[in-house]
Every structure is written in structure tokens, then in C-alpha cells.
Amino acid sequence: MNTFLLALRNLLRNRRRSIATLLAMVFGLDAILMFGGYTGNVVDALQTGYVQRSGHLQIQHQDYFLYGTGNPVAYGIADYQRIIDRVKRDPELAPMLTVVTPILQLGGIAGNFAAGVSKTVIASGIVVDEQNQLRLWNDYSVARYSGPLALTGTRSDAAVIGTGVARMLQLCGPLKVPDCKQPMPMPAKEGRRAPDDIAALSALEQPQARAPGDDSHIEILAANDRGVPNVAGLTVVKAENQGMKQFDDIFMTMHLAQAQQLIYGGSDPQVTAIQVQLHHTGQIPVARARLQQLLAHDFKDRTLELQDYETLNPMYGQTIKFFKSVFSFIATLIGVIVLFTVGNTMSMAVVERTVEIGTLRAVGLRRGGIRRLFICEGLLLGLFGAVLGVLSAIALAGLINHSGISWTPPGYTQPYPLTVRVWGDWTLICGSVMGLMLVAILSAWWPAKRASKQNIVEALRHV
């Protein structure tokens, strides 16, 4: 205790230098905590978005993830409802589940034959009510602006497309797509209606009569389970921006029954995946192990596998690695700055107090006592810097969170409020504080070692 009190008095002897060193530590810790809090919020938001769209886990046909996107028929899951019912009834899985829902993904060609244009698309057949429930997951309490899906309450032939698809199919006007530039008018050509065979197929697949003046009607052409082209007529109810142009230019979603009718016709319907969403992301290892047991025991005649949301969305892992590398670089840079700042402060203190060091050694204080004295000064600087840095970072994060500043993350269409999560992220706070304390002690150790090795006579004669 006496050593700490003496170290505190020594720090107060040169307040200006101590305050300058303390401010460097506080600003450095603020920068680390602010960037760490921002990074944590971005990662939580990304995870929330991916889990809302794809669930935590997906049951798929083996190798569908690698090869099945272009051939859903070959990698379909037959009798999928029995698998869903078995998963929901399992006593170990049931408490962890929020939604278990099927989805069918297929590729095709969407055409607006009234305008004489067509576009390749990747379509998804979904159960709308269950997908709406899937999108309610928000375990990290991030800001949400999306409401129910546009397919909610629509007819069985309804579809939603990306704004890029709407632009290429010249549906911007009927769908009221903003900022959608129409192409230059092309010379009039004959045969701008669908070919007779495709029109006949579309009429068979579309029992409802097309409403007069319905300008958002399209046809989608896809190969069925027998390899024969099949056509369905769809009414586009909305065009939605998907955030990324590549995805926006191929996006289409429709009701699951309509997609199954298009691919399987009168055959037994199948799906390409069963999405499983849990209450908490931390439950994935337990849920995965139990699902693998079920698939190996109850459905051992099927070649099924499990994929988690990180595998299904590689960009998530890439984003985390990027932020970790940037955070490590910033933390290292600030650590070096603090190291040299505190080291310089302690070195100047050693030079100024050379006579004092000689006097202490002359009255019997050992070398270890001198080292402890200067190390305690560095420790106190680190402790005060850590406390002030955490408090100021929490206050600054609160100001930013209530400032109303917003930004649009990559791959998103709505602006989100800029949020920095410092309070509550105890791993970030404790790690940063411990790192700062360690840097402060290390930066004081070398000057303390040099002070302890001074010759007593020469130190007393120092001017």
C-alpha cells in the first residue's frame, strides 16, 4: 500500500505530463471500444438478417449445396412433410425450435411476352406465413424495418420479383418502381405475343382468368421432373430491391404450391431444403447433433445432410474475418502508441528522479523496490486510463446511438441507425482493459529496470 501511495504522489508531482499520458491512453481505449462496439453490432445485424432468411440450419439432399441449385429435381426431398413433423415432435428439439419450414428453389426464364422480353431468374417457392414467422427472429434486438412479406394474403399465382427483373421485363410502370429508367423504344416487330405452344401451356397452368388491364402478368418457363418444359402464368404483386444488383437481377419468389406445380405437376411434390430456426444461435451444436441422430436413425434410407447459416452464406464469415483483421490492426497500432507514450513518460521520470533513486538506495531500498515503485506508477496510469476510457466510451456510444445517424449496410436496401454497442459487451470491455493494463505495465518495466541498476554514488552526484 505504501508503494502505491508513493507512486500516486510521484504521478501528481508532474500533473501536466501525467495528464497528457493519461489522455493518450483514454483516447486509445475509446478508439478500440468504439470500433469494437460498432463491429459487434454489424456482425449481430448480419447474423440476424441471414438467420431470418435461411434459418440456423437447413436439411438438404446430400451435395445439393454444391451441385443442386441448377437441378432441383435431382436433389429434391420427397415426403418432406414427414421429416418436418418428426423434427417438430422430437422432445429434445421442440423446446429449441421457432420455425421449421420447407422451401423449393428453381431456375427458369421469366417472360413478359406483351413487351417481347424475357429474363433468367432464380425463384423460390415458400410457405408465406412460416416465412413471416421466420423473419421475426431478433435475438440481438437490432433495428428492424421490414414488415410482412409482399406475398402475404395474395392469390396462389402471385409472385414478387427484384427491381432488376422488373426493369428488364419492362414492368417498372405497372409496379410503380421508383428510379427505374425505361429502355429506349425498339422498332415494332411482329409476334410480340407468346408462341402458341407456350401460351397454351400457360393457359393450362393458370385457371384464373387474367383481369383486364393487368399489365404485371408474366410467364415463367422451367423444366419439370421429366425434363419437359413447363410454363406457369404469374401476377407480379410487387418489385423489391434486394440490395445487391447481381441478386436483384435474378430474384423471384412465389407460393410453394405454385412452384411445386410448375416443377412436379401431378407427381408427388418435393422441396430442396427444410429450414430450421432456433431460439438462440448458441443452440446450433446441440440441435445439429440431435438432427444428425434423427436423420441417421429415422431417415437412414435418405441421403440427407445439414448445413448451417454460415456455410450457406459465405459472406458472413468473410465479413467477420475482415472486421477482426481491421480490429487487430487498430488495437496493435494504438497499443504501440500507448507503449511508447507511457515508456517515454517513465523514462523522463527516471532521469528527473535520479538523485531520489540514489537516496532511496542509500537508505536501504533494494533494486526490487525501485522496480516495483515505477511499475506501480505505470499500473496506476493504466488503471486510471482504463476507468476513464470505459466511462467516456460508454457516454460517447450513447450519444451516437441517440444522434439519429443512419447508414445503409452492403446488401441491404433500408437505412439503419448507426449503433455502437459498448455497454453489455463485457468480453470487449474486459479484453480491452486488460490489454491496456498490460501495455502500461510493460512500458514501465524497462525504465524501472534501468532505474534499479543505477549506481548509488553516481546517482547521488547526478545534477
What is the mean pLDDT of the segment spanning 96-110? 95
Residues 221 and 330 in one domain: no
- Residue pair 222/263 in contact (Cβ under 8 Å)? The answer is yes
Over residues 273-316, the pLDDT tens digits come to: 999 999 999 999 999 999 999 999 999 888 999 999 999 999 89
Owning domain of residue 7: 2-47+317-460
pLDDT at 319 over 50: yes
Regarding beta strands 97-112 and 217-223, do their DSSP bridges make them parallel or antiparallel, or are they unpaired? antiparallel
Condensed to tens digits (0 to 9), the pLDDT of residues 227-246 reads 788 899 999 999 998 878 88
β pairing state of 251-255 and 117-126: parallel
Is there a domain that residue 211 lies in? yes
Report, as an integer, the average pLDDT of 55-59. Answer: 96
In sequence order, which residues have a C-beta less than 8 Å from that of residue 154 and are 6 or more positions away? 128, 237, 255
Q: In the structure grid, which three cell numbers stand for residue 155, read together?
A: 392469390
pLDDT band for 199, please (50, 70, 90 cuts): low
Residues 279 and 254 in one domain: yes
161 and 42 in a single domain? The answer is no
Whether residue 155 sits in one domain with residue 117: yes
Predicted TM-score (pTM) of this structure: 0.82
**What is the model's pLDDT at position 209?**
46
Asked if residue 57 is part of any domain, the answer here is: no
Listing DSSP states for 53-107 in one string gives HH-SEEEEETTIIIIITT-TTTT-EETHHHHHHHHHH-TTTGGGEEEEEEEEEEE
Do 228 and 104 lie in a common domain? Answer: yes
Is residue 371 located within the same domain as residue 280? no
Read off the pLDDT of residues 8-50 as tens digits, 9 standing for 90 and up.
887 788 888 889 889 999 999 999 999 999 999 888 888 998 9
pLDDT mean over 43-69 = 90
In a domain, 310, yes or no: no
Q: Tell me whether residue 278 is in a domain.
A: yes
Which helix (H) or strand (E) element contains residue 344? helix 314-352
**Residue where one domain finishes, among candidates 275, 302, 329:** 302
Are residues 444 and 363 both part of a single domain?
yes
Same domain, 453 and 402: yes
User: Whole-angstrom Cα distance, residue 313 to residue 335?
Assistant: 34
Handedness of CA 413, 165, 99, 284 (dihedral sign): negative
What is the number of structural domains in the chain?
Answer: 2
pLDDT at 80 over 50: yes
| pLDDT exceeds cutoff 90 at 3 | no
In a domain, residue 58? The reply is: no
Predicted confidence at residue 208, as pLDDT, reads: 47
Q: Are residues 37 and 76 in the same domain?
A: no
Amino acid at 220: I
What pLDDT, on a 0 to 100 scale, did the predictor assign at position 150?
A: 93
Tell me: do 321 and 298 sit in the same domain. no
Residues 39 and 68 in one domain: no
Predicted confidence at residue 233, as pLDDT, reads: 93
Would you say 225 and 393 are in contact if contact means Cβ atoms under 8 Å apart? no
Q: Let me know if residue 311 belongs to a domain.
A: no
Q: Residues 416, 281: one domain?
A: no
Across the range 196-225, mean pLDDT stands at: 66
Does residue 148 lie in a domain region?
yes
- Residue 53 lies inside a defined structural domain of this protein: no
| pLDDT tens by residue, 345-388 | 888 877 777 777 788 778 877 877 788 888 888 889 989 999 99
